[in-house]
Structures are given as C-alpha cells and as structure tokens.
Structure 1
Amino acid sequence: MAENKVTVIGIAGGTGCGKTTVVKRLVEALPPHFVAVVPLDSYYNDTTHMTEEERRAINFDHPDAFDWKLLHQQLADLRAGKAIEQPTYSYLKCNREKETIHVEPKPVIIIEGIMTLVDKELRDLMDLKVFVDTDADERLIRNIQRDTIDRGRTVSMVVDRYLKVLKPMHEQFIEPTKRYADIIIPQGGENATGIGILCRYVEGLVD
C-alpha cells in the first residue's frame, strides 16, 4: 500500500467525551476492513523498571506518560504499508502486557486519545484533526460510570482524581488542542448530526 493513499485521522477530546463512539460511527460508515484504529492509550510508557508504588504515582493524563517515539515509528510503518505489533496496556497493572495486537495497514488510520492533538509531529502526519467537545459535567458522569464498573474505583476516588488530576490536566493540555481541530463535534456520541457530517466528510476524503 503506497503511503500517499493512506488517510490519517486524529480524534482527540477529554476523557469520557465520547471519542470511542465517534470512532465506532466512522468505522461503520466506511467499507468493511477499511480502517485501522490506533488507540493512544496503547502507547503509555513501558514501566517494567518501576516499582508498583512508582507506577501508581504516574500521571497518565500528562503528555510525558506516552511513548511518542514508538507511536511515531509505528504510524510511519502503517503509512508505508507495513504491519505493526501494537502494544497493549493494563490499567490495573499500570504497565504494558506481554501480548501485542497485530495491525495491518489500511487505507484509513484513526488515532484516538485524549492527547492525540498535543504532539506537533503527530499532527503534521494527519489529514484530518477532530476534537470531541463534551460538557465537563457529562464527562465526569461518564468517568464515574466507567471507573466504578471497569476499574474497581469508588465514586469518591473518581471524583477526587477528577478534581486533582483530570480537570487541571484537561485545562492545561487537552482543551488548548481544540484550536488545531479541523472539525469540532459538540457533545460527542450524543451529537448524531455532528457525527453524520464527519462521516460524510471522511467518505469524501477517501473516495
């Protein structure tokens, strides 16, 4: 697959904003087996050399938590028509798993994550940059629902983390990247009209 035939789409937004729903709608709108999804969450730094206490202290909502070098390399490989072994990450262990996910190059590559538009080198590789802009209260509710069910946290733990980490990191690093977006989707997965416009735009890009 030639590099100039690959369309790279970046989808960013705060945690709990509905990015996953937007990605799902895009994948459904395009031909089957047409899209490779690259979650930014898979590229947290390898923390094997750290103690468990040190891992628990990591701020996963800061740009320094990500292995940008590996992401740049693997994205370049996909654009060049080469398959990659995408890392997997465990939120419970705060470290990478031994298993990887084999990802074949596709005509459309979607990079999705809170910090997707933070890194300039990554932005420069994108044909389309999307920001999912959802109300802070709604994002907090979704975080409470997700973290209490999937990650075993109590409501008080989630709220405390939101106030001490998520909210300030969002305001410092994520919200400012909205200015780089070509398309802004208010209220994430609840905005059927916005997603519909995005899907039609992307369909035009890959025709």
Structure 2
Amino acid sequence: MAKSIIIAVSGPSGSGKSLFSKSICNSFNTDEAEIISEDGYYKHRPELSFEERSVQNYDHPDAFEHELLTIHLSKLKSGKSIEVPLYDYVSHLRKNQTLLVSSCPVIVLEGILLLADEKLRNLIDIKIYMDAPLDICLSRRIYRDSVERGRDIASVITQYNNHVRPMYFKFVEPSRKYADIIVPKGGKNKVAIEVIQAKIGELIQNKK
C-alpha cells in the first residue's frame, strides 16, 4: 500500500481552495491523488437543537475534530485506508455515510484552519495558502451559501460579520506565515496550478 504525501491548501473562506484543489488533481487518476475536505471534520453535535447548531462559530478551531483528522492523516502516511466523515451544511450534522479513502501517493487536504494547528502542520509535507481580497471572498461565499447551500443572504452576512471575518484575523491570516507557497488570484491561477501539478507528477513518479 502506498504511503501518502500530504499537500494542504489553506486560506480564507471563499479564496478558491476547493477549485484550486480540484484543478491540480484533475489530470491525475483517483489512485494517484485524492482530495479530503477539512469540513468533513466539523464536530458532530446532535445534542444541540437545529437553532443552536445554526449559530455556532464554525470558523473557530474548536469547531473541528482535528484530533480525528490527525489520526487519519497519520494512517494515510503509513499506508492505511480511512473512512472520511461527510458533512451536511443544511442540518449542520455529519451524514450517516462516510467516504473510503485509500492511501495513495498524494492526498490534497483543503480547509481554512489546516495551517493553524501545529499537529496537523507536522503531518503536512507541502503547505499552500490561498491569498485573496476579503471582499472577493465575501462575494463568493454569499453566492455559494445562497445558491449551493440554500441559505438566505441575511444569515450569510450575519455569520460573516460575527464569525468568519473575526476568525480570519485571529486564526486564518496568522497561519499564512507557515505556508511554503502563497497563491494569489484564487483557484484559477494557471501558473500556480501547473507548478503544483508538475510537483505532484514528480512525487507520483518517485513513489513508483
């Protein structure tokens, strides 16, 4: 079983992390490169009512079960498979289903707070930070949450002002200093995509 190299794509919400991760992996087979989202590791809080879950701070490190993610990354790096939790943004709960991810040459991990956690950083081989203006991030988040996740715009803006923006300045932006590569212009930065793809190709060849 292959032992995985972990590439983290971090940065503010709406900076293009998901698009960038998909773009750099789209020229590789699923047995060569796999994507895991930090969002799947949001804590499962069924003891809270839907109203209580709706107002939780999902941009604070305490919102994530990083301990489980750390265990899973360690397993992947040692050649083992994992069951990745899946998150339902509508109910704010984990789904009953999980996603089986087998250890492969490259795992691309994307999420807002990956570089803010020292234990995670110690397991990550290449650290990428997506750098984008906050007004662009906000407009993307409004579109995503209202169109793709069925939320009303007022609640999206309230969450942004109360949680997303303050946590960006407290946790996300300070983690930028740990990045090996800083990518501007969002997930469509072709030069950055090609550079990372070339590196992934090199890593995969070295694994053979």
Bin for the TM-score computed over the shorter chain: over 0.9
- CA RMSD in angstroms, aligned pairs only: 1.6
Q: 2:146 aligns with which of 145, 148, 157?
A: 148
* Distance (Å, rounded) in 1 between the aligned partners of 2:161 and 2:5: 37
Kept in 2, the 8 Å contact 1:183–1:198? The answer is no
Superimposed CA distance per residue, residues 35-88 of structure 1 (whole angstroms, 9 cap, x where no aligned partner):
121110000111122232332231101000000111111111112222111111
TM superposition outliers: structure 1 runs of 4+ over 6 Å: none
SS of the equivalent of 1:117 reads helix
TM-score of the two chains, using structure 1 as the length reference? 0.92
**Code of the aligned partner of 2:106:** V
Q: Partner of 2:59 in structure 1?
A: 61
Kept in 2, the 8 Å contact 1:9–1:130? The answer is yes
SS of the equivalent of 1:193 reads helix
Unaligned runs of 5+ in 1: none
Kept in 2, the 8 Å contact 1:87–1:100? The answer is yes
Aligned length: 205
Kept in 1, the 8 Å contact 2:2–2:105? The answer is no
**Code of the aligned partner of 1:79:** K
The answer to whether the aligner puts 1:162 opposite 2:160 as a matched pair is yes
Q: Partner of 1:39 in structure 2?
A: 37
TM-score of the two chains, using structure 2 as the length reference? 0.92
Kept in 2, the 8 Å contact 1:7–1:206? The answer is no
* Distance (Å, rounded) in 1 between the aligned partners of 2:48 and 2:124: 33
* Distance (Å, rounded) in 2 between the aligned partners of 1:70 and 1:86: 10
* Distance (Å, rounded) in 2 between the aligned partners of 1:31 and 1:85: 20
Q: Partner of 1:94 in structure 2?
A: 92
